[in-house]
Structure 1
């Protein structure tokens, strides 16, 4: 397994945000966490990135215990994140944002190749290369956030709500690109409120409710689960 989460507990003060969750992500797959607002999805992602402290449990990445490793060391190991709300640097250009994504790398040839990969996935970023990122549309900023994460050349990329606030046509495009990223060899852990799109593409899926994993299975299994349909899919895919 590329990522193994075992008995993870995370608190915000005295409030338990995540309670004893365990799941794994196999290399080369797309895994998804679905759930309502406040379920603990973003807290889970921040914890995997090293931005939240673990109270109990452990996180193992590529066979190494990274539970207490600083965020930048996790990036060096091959774990990067496109955060909820995009989190781009609005005063920097597209070029500068993408450069920041590769800040831990010294291989210039590899960086140039990955920049071309990002342009292949998101041609709009090449068109906007010298534009200040904060002046771009929401969809373009989301493309930039994902592109920046890919510039670290991750083995596992964490995508937190990539479709949030986007128009339906753009949502479809973003999810198609997520599938393409995976087909190019990058493992994906996806957190999404758009459960229908997430389950359609996920090899494995987990339902997170009030900080606990309540259901797990393949994407197709959960998409066909009556309780999941009723709670997250409006009764149907």
Structure 2
């Protein structure tokens, strides 16, 4: 397994946000993590990337325990993240934002190659490359956030709510690009409110409720599960 989370517990002060969750992501997979607001999805992503310390349990990446490893060292090992809310640098140009994604790297030829790859995935970013990130539309900023994460050359790409606030046409476009990224060899852990899109693209999925995993299965199994359909797909 590329990612193995075992019995992970995380606290916000006295509040327990994660209650001993366990999940795995195999190399080459898209794995979706779905759940309501406040279920612990973003908290899980922040624990994996090293942005939140854990109280108990372990996180293993490619066989190495990274539970207490610094966030920047996890990036170097191959964990890249596109955060909830996009988090672009508003005063920097699109090109500078993408270069910031490669801040841990020193391979100039590889960086240039990956810039070309990102501009190929997101032609709109190439058109806007000299424009400040803060002046982009919401959809363009989401493309920039994903592209910046790809500049880390991740083996595991963490995508946190990539469709949030986007129009339906852009949501479809973002998910088509996510599928292309996966087909090109990048493993993806996807947190997403749009359960229909997430599960239809995912090889496997987990359902998180109040910090506990309550269901898991293939994307298709969860799409057709009556409880999941009622709770997350709007089908009674």
TM-score range, shorter chain: over 0.9
> Runs of at least 4 residues of structure 1 off by over 4 A?
none
In structure 1, C-alpha distance between the alignment counterparts of 2:62 and 2:26, rounded to whole Å: 10
1:16 corresponds in structure 2 to: 16
In structure 1, C-alpha distance between the alignment counterparts of 2:210 and 2:161, rounded to whole Å: 18
Spell out the pairing of 1:106-117 with structure 2 (5 A cutoff): 106-117=106-117
Runs (5+) with no aligned partner, structure 2 = none
2:36 corresponds in structure 1 to: 36
1:56 corresponds in structure 2 to: 56
The alpha carbon displacement at 1:210 in A equals: 0.2
Q: TM-score, normalised by structure 1?
A: 0.99
The alpha carbon displacement at 1:63 in A equals: 0.6
2:193 corresponds in structure 1 to: 193
2:94 corresponds in structure 1 to: 94
2:74 corresponds in structure 1 to: 74
Q: Deviations over 1:156-192 (max 9, x none)?
A: 0000000000000000000000000000000000000
- CA-atom RMSD in angstroms: 0.6
1:171 corresponds in structure 2 to: 171
Q: Are 1:162 and 2:162 matched, yes or no? A: yes
Runs (5+) with no aligned partner, structure 1 = none
Spell out the pairing of 1:83-232 with structure 2 (5 A cutoff): 83-232=83-232
3-state SS in 2 of match to 1:38: coil
The alpha carbon displacement at 1:41 in A equals: 0.2
The alpha carbon displacement at 1:33 in A equals: 0.2
The alpha carbon displacement at 1:109 in A equals: 0.8
The alpha carbon displacement at 1:52 in A equals: 0.4
3-state SS in 2 of match to 1:9: strand
Q: Are 1:2 and 2:2 matched, yes or no? A: yes
The alpha carbon displacement at 1:132 in A equals: 0.3
In structure 1, C-alpha distance between the alignment counterparts of 2:109 and 2:186, rounded to whole Å: 19
The alpha carbon displacement at 1:71 in A equals: 0.4
Q: TM-score, normalised by structure 2?
A: 0.99
The alpha carbon displacement at 1:35 in A equals: 0.3
Report the count of equivalent residues: 236
3-state SS in 1 of match to 2:144: helix
